[in-house]
Structure 1
Amino acid sequence: MKKNIAILGSTGSIGKTLFSIIKKNKKNFKIVLLSSNKNYKDLLKQAYFFNVKNLIITDHNSFNAVKSKKLKKKINIYNNFDDLNKILIKKIDYAMCSITGIAGLEPTCKIIKHTKKIAIANKEAIVCGWNIIKKELKKNKTKFIPVDSEHFSAWFGVKGFSNKEIDRIILTASGGPFLNYPVNKFKNINKKMALKHPNWKMGEKISIDSATMMNKVFEIIEARNIFDISYKKLSILVHPNSYVHSIINFKNGMTKLIIHDTNMLVPIQNTLLDDFKSTYITSKLDINRLNHLGLQKINFKKFPLVKILDNLPDISSLYETLIVSANDKLVNLFLNNQIDFLDIQKYLFKILNDKNFKKLKKIQPKTVNDIINLDNYLHTKITKLIYK
């Protein structure tokens, strides 16, 4: 029997990688829903190829553009995730949520009740709204699997073990384009240099986060949430060739290194398929890479933003939304050549140390709107703080 699946954010890199897996065995899957924000041209191509009957296009102009077209096939076009109740009458087998940014939080929460299994690639949703997501997962008995290579590998590594048996979970970081770049030349870093990641092909936003290592701050927060483990049991090691994705230290003296090739095919395919019985991808152990892991500690002079982790509470709070919003704003300013690379860390520390914002550490979000409203408020407030 075919598995019914939905892909939210299907025109992005995660969605496209998932399609490459599905294409190899179309007879096993039926895609019942796809979504995109503005990229309706690619969305329609996907819908035609996979014979998808339902599309959600959230951008109003793009939605209207499609509605005015004479489509080749009969397709239901929606503009809002509130329409999920009309589209998904019965629980589907699998949903991939890969809408980027805080905009992905609400769709992620809304689709949980409609699916038996959910794979979440939206970093911001897990960072800012995990306590809300967790309640929805429990309430609807929906299975969750993380998609990020580091979290998927750690999730795979700790299966069958309790937190009492785990001494430490270590996530690896490539070090990005500036691992070996002299710190006294960081003032000369420009957009082109910062976007040139040595190992991964990623979007502009996450490429800059990798260059500042802010992405690892987010990933440690994600790991704290996903594994319900103290920050004291989480750490980062720099690993330039990105072959080891996580390391699990157990209290019995044993250690696991979780390894897979430097691509997203492995974690994505294993969220889609049950019991890790995939025959889509096999790769031999790369002895050369294994013999040259080059693991090293973080240089905090180059990557001071990692120190943000030292002052985070061990509970979910609205402070995480502040971190995401402020970083988003600053990265956008850098990408638009409005601030320098070093200004990202300068202004981010200024914002996070503001006494008015520190109060957010004690406030837990209760609804998705708590997070969205704060994010909207912060985008205006942060601009004023930067240029104060």
Structure 2
Amino acid sequence: MKIAVLGSTGSIGNSLLNIINKNPKKINIILLTANKNHKKLFKYAKKFNVKNLIITNPQSYKILKSKTKNLKINVFNNYECLNKIFKSKVDYVMSSIVGLSGLEPTLKIIKFTKKIAIANKESIICGWNLIKKELIKYNTEFIPVDSEHFSIWYGLKNSEKNKLECIYLTASGGSIQKTPIEKINKLKIKDLLSHPNWSMGQKITIDSATMMNKLFEIIEARNIFNIEYKNIIVVIHPSSYIHAILKYNDGMIKIIAHDTTMEIPIFNSIFGDKNKKFNSKKINYKIMNNLNFKKVDKKKYPAIKLLKNLPTKFSLFDTIIVSANDFLVEMFLNKIISFNDIYKKIKYVINLEELQKFRNLKPKNVNEIINLNRYVHFKLREKCV
């Protein structure tokens, strides 16, 4: 099996390479990529005998180029080199570059792979029509890797999708799940970065606490599975053991559960059709006997109310909310705004009259998305920070 990993030094990339390390036979890694982390990228290149690396940060590129000058390793600093690397389609690509910077590499690599697993929310939210076009053009299979969307995808396999009545997405409640509303804004950043169930990056951990991540997952589910917002329901499930519930119009219900590790959806995205065994834990009866589902408290998690402000159809307006959130979470982590300001300022931006025209416009190319992202950041600097 020949594979490539975009974003190999992040949490998803690390998990994937850990899986490959446990299943090394007949897996040939053709390409690994990173932004800045040249040390880890070089370590992985040596460990897995990888001959092609892409690292986009200019300084990191110079360092890595120097490190590999006497080795048979090709080092590139952008994704224009893919034609040089791939002489035929590989079997599998993981796209796990963080943020909107992952969209263009994702689009570029689809033509070079039989199957692509995407763990990049921003790409699916902002550029789904562009991705879908490339998938169809090059007959490339797509698998979503977010635990919730993978669970939906898994549950819908071999079933009649036209019978699907609604989808329930579960949310842990993040680091504030046990914090009274009046005390949330007094929490320190380190407290908000302490997720009770998952080990994630800072950005996604804050998104979990605001529940913006769940709003994004609703948008993703609409795009991937072509289901209306009114048929996607979010429920609080503190243990994160159940990831999705599918209710069918014939009265049947599927509950998809797995341990809180991303290795399970990643493993299945690679080996799901090869009858390989994942060494998972036994079913946790303690959790199963106390699933503790609750409705979302919209006073505690007001971000979920933003769904009412979004157009029901895919458009460039989805990019606006992603861009605003990215910028404001960074401002919060840099101690420029408060935690509660994230929601307030997102609401302000998406209600700006000058941005309403994007509700009915679909992106024609990546540049439209990137330029709109920059413009949203500009408006936030001008008006909110």
For Structure 1 versus Structure 2, the TM-score category normalised by the shorter chain is over 0.9
The one of 330, 334, 337 equivalent to 2:335 is: 337
Deviations 1:246-299 (A, max 9, x none): 000000001011010011111000001142622132332111110010000000
Q: Could you tell me how far 1:319 is from its partner in structure 2?
A: 0.7
**Matches for 1:113-128 after TM superposition, within 5 Å:** 113-128=111-126
In the alignment, residue 164 of structure 2 is paired with which amino acid? I
> 1:69 maps to what in 2?
67
Equivalent in the alignment of 2:259: 261
Mean CA deviation greater in 181-190 or 192-201: 181-190
How many Å separate the matches in 2 of 1:67 and 1:73?
Answer: 10
Kept in 2: contact 1:169–1:233 (CA 8 A)? yes
Question: What is the rounded CA distance, in whole Å, between the counterparts of 1:69 and 1:179 in structure 2?
Answer: 46
**Structure 1 151/104 Cα, relative in aligned 2: closer, same or farther at 3 Å?**
same
Q: Which amino acid aligns with 2:266?
A: I
Asked if the contact 1:35–1:56 (Cα under 8 Å) also holds between the matched residues in 2, the reply is yes
Other structure's SS at 1:28 match:
coil
Which deviates more, 315-324 or 377-386? 377-386
Summarize the alignment of residues 26-41 of structure 1 with structure 2, pairs less than 5 Å apart: 26-41=24-39
How far apart, in 1, do the equivalents of 2:373 and 2:62 lie?
27
Q: Which residue of 2 aligns with 1:349?
A: 347
* 1:201 alignment counterpart: 199
Q: Which residues of 2 match residues 1-388 of structure 1 at below 5 A?
A: 3-71=1-69, 73-275=71-273, 277-387=275-385
Contact 1:21–1:280 (8 Å) recurs in 2: no
Q: Higher mean Cα deviation, 214-223 or 377-386? A: 377-386
- Name the SS for the 2:273 alignment partner: helix
Q: TM-score, normalised by structure 1?
A: 0.97
CA contact (8 A) 1:163 1:229 kept: no
**Alpha-carbon distance between aligned partners in 2 of 1:52 and 1:30, rounded to the nearest angstrom:** 8
Q: Which whole-Å CA distance do the structure 1 matches of 2:131 and 2:246 have between them?
A: 25
Deviates more, 1:335-344 or 1:175-184: 175-184
Provide the secondary structure at the position in 1 that maps to 2:238: coil
Per the alignment, in what secondary structure is the counterpart of residue 236 of structure 1?
Answer: strand
Tell me how far 1:71 sits from its aligned partner.
4.8
The answer to whether the Cα contact below 8 Å between 1:34 and 1:43 also exists between their aligned partners in 2 is yes
Question: Unaligned regions of 5+ residues in structure 1, if any?
Answer: none
CA distance in structure 2 between the partners assigned to 1:381 and 1:163 by the alignment: 41
Q: Using the TM superposition, name which of 355-364 and 292-301 deviates more.
A: 355-364
Identify the range of structure 1 (177-186 vs 332-341) with the bigger mean alpha-carbon deviation.
177-186
Give the aligned length: 385
**Aligned-partner SS, 1:160:** coil
Q: For 1:40 and 1:303, locate their aligned partners in 2 and report how far apart those are by CA, in whole Å.
A: 38
**CA 1:249 to 1:42, structure 2 compared with 1: closer, same or farther past 3 Å?**
same
SS at match of 2:169: strand
User: Percent identity over the alignment?
Assistant: 52
| Counterpart contact for 1:190–1:340, Cα < 8 Å | no
SS at match of 2:168: strand
Describe the shift of the 1:276–1:222 C-alpha distance in structure 2 as closer, same or farther (beyond 3 A).
Answer: farther
Q: Secondary structure at the match of 1:68?
A: helix
